[in-house]
Structure 1
């Protein structure tokens, strides 16, 4: 939101307040303060009646924080006078609108809640015997106009944020899933073949059907479900591949366990092989169609940059909430990186960053997301991973980095360590809370002496 737009909204707010006498403003302020708990509860109940809203508001933290925040908001917006600094209030409405956009709360639901809030406050004013008719009418108009103005500011911030997110999503859809498309295609075909070979081997050595590797959880499957399907969204081949994967995992593999199916093994294996070949064929077609994908990567490390962080996190939250899945983020920071730059020069620092990116990439799965956030900060998003798995992955990465010899100019080497803060998705719809928890855990590692892992509390 531009500073000019904020100033304009502050001026409109000030002009609005000047139109009402101090006693009317004081009466509305007292009404909001006295009934803030009941009004916040009323707002929450009204919102929860909507099935869409209930999916966002049912989380315990959202409930408790929304109720407290709503009370603070009510007392705050109606406590302002025409001579107060209104810019902080405008900034607060902008922030609320941006949060609504980030967690994808439909704006019509917010407006519906605001309407119910106005109706309740008007009813309270009608019951206030201390007001005469003119005062009651003026107070009602003030309530309506203040709420309408705050909703206007929120909606503008919501719209701006949504537009920005939509552009980022479209760019992400078109961004290259790898620096070199032809190389990426071969990597993914190889991952698919690895799964097929592993399946055939496990079957040959007599593993039970329930122990056979599922395609959806293989290296290829994780990559396609979390990255490929999104990058190639809209293509008919994408749905074909997802359908084939689902048939393999939910129909063909479980069929091995059915009584009397031993005589069907060869036809079943042939059908599996045909589906695998079918997937590879359509995968080639997808890469051919998208050979001009836009790269959105950090220039130095070739990792994802901040541009796509909101898109990826938002998509991961939606997937987790819709499917009951787990994911986690690792906030990774290179320890004492400034000493490398100061002692060996920026060329050495760049070499360490590139080697760190390579090491982290090598030790993460195809479906995971690795970002360079800037400087010596990295973020790793682990898909389909519960907290215990994220902790193990972080501890393993920490040990792997510490054991690596990082090459510097003039044939020198350096030992490098990292600090890692871990946070698992806990159901909260706003991904910023997840990032803040990971950052807080990272700060604890730094404070405790670095070169370690701390897991954020829920």
Structure 2
């Protein structure tokens, strides 16, 4: 705040004006990104002027006071106008992108997603039954909310089916299973069969409600990258904003993996753009198969991809990045005319540090990728955000 006031009131040359205007607009965009209400910013400006004028009354003579107050007041008011304008534009963009993403998320291949989540829910049930049959203690029984289905429900379904009454009911059933039924489950007790029946009934209810959710879905304009079928980059601000809010609410964290195909220009130059497209498609397939149901995969631009890993830590994110790097390096990619090619990727990894502005994490991932590229490529580098 002190630096902002000093730079604003120290303006002496018209040549400095464009930089000051750009700064105020940037601040307004950041306020929109971290969701600081414009009314709060304006109230802060009013309080700031009151304190500043009080200070001026002690620092300036009567002849200088009016000019100092006028200059400071005009400067702050103009800065607020610029900030508010930038805030409004950014907020409108984010709102449109958020609604577009919500609509798009409902439209993703409904049949495939329905079968995938049915299978994920059944897989959790099978794991649970196996652990119970094996005599595992209650604290080792797999939790529904941490399963593949649970991650999808907590992160992606919230966007796809926002406002649907079934969402709250599924959430309640999953919480009952994890927080009430499983911790109380006792192997071999007189109530074990009854407890098992309660768990089964809750799971059946989730299955039933899940079918209703998918029945609500309708076909809406596709929002995937046409080449790789990954999420379009325009949805990145919406997804990151939601993950930042979720991380703050649940005291969890997420990781970003910025991935770049090494020497990709050489692939295009030597084999042609058709071959380059096939390389990107096959690398995208490897990335998609390496992530969980709740994670997000984006085509970031050109030969760059971005993975957002939900509910993870730095160690697990780095392990996955190394696994992806190795899988890509080992894979023989198929090009036209039966030609095969091996490529490598460089990966920048960061863990979200809790800051409300997700651009910090994006910059950290980008910095890590830069270090990986300039450190010899075909490697993973972690940078704290």
Normalising by the smaller structure, the TM-score range is: over 0.9
Do the aligned residues in 1 keep the contact of 2:107 with 2:220 (CA within 8 Å)?
A: no
Task: Give CA-to-partner distance per residue, 1:82-120, whole Å, 9 cap, x none.
Answer: 744522211111100000110111222222221221111
Output aligned runs, 1:201-220, within 5 Å: 201-220=130-149
Alignment of 1:13-32 (within 5 A): none
Match of 2:118 in 1: 189
Residue 362 of structure 1, CA deviation: 0.7
Q: 2:61 aligns with which of 121, 126, 131?
A: 131
- 2:294 maps to 367
Distance 1:450 1:84 in 2: 42
* 2:217 is aligned with 1:290: yes
Specify the alignment match of 1:326 in structure 2.
253
Q: Which residue of 1 aligns with 2:69?
A: 140
Structure with the greater alpha carbon radius of gyration: 1
Summarize deviations over 1:145-187 as a string: whole Å, max 9, x none.
2111101110111111111111111111111357421111011
- The separation in 1 between residues aligned to 2:204 and 2:14, in whole angstroms, is 72
Post-superposition offset of 1:265: 1.4
Q: Is the 8 A contact 1:179 1:302 kept in 2?
A: no
2:321 to 383, 394, 410: 394
Change in CA separation of 1:178 and 1:261 when aligned onto 2, cut-off 3 Å: farther
- For residues 269-348 of structure 1, what are the structure 2 equivalents within 5 Å? 269-348=196-275
What SS does structure 2 have at the residue aligned with 1:262?
coil
2:352 to 397, 407, 425: 425
Superposition deviation, residue 79 in structure 1: 2.1
Report the counterpart of residue 94 of structure 1 in structure 2: 25
RMSD: 1.5
Question: 1-side partners of 2:229 and 2:170: how far apart?
Answer: 28
CA distance in 2, matches of 1:201, 1:454: 39
Q: 1:109 aligns with which of 40, 44, 56?
A: 40
Change (3 A) 1:83 1:436: closer
Q: Deviations over 1:1-41 (max 9, x none)?
A: xxxxxxxxxxxxxxxxxxxxxxxxxxxxxxxxxxxxxxxxx
Q: Measure, in 2, the Cα distance between the counterparts of 1:279 and 1:172.
A: 25
Q: Secondary structure at the match of 1:381?
A: strand
Query: What is the deviation of 1:269?
Result: 1.4
8 Å CA contact retained: 1:174, 1:293 = yes
**CA distance in 1: counterparts of 2:22 and 2:285, whole angstroms:** 41
Count the aligned residue pairs.
385
Normalised to the residue count of structure 2, the TM-score between the two structures is 0.97
**Unpaired stretches in structure 2, ≥5 consecutive residues:** none
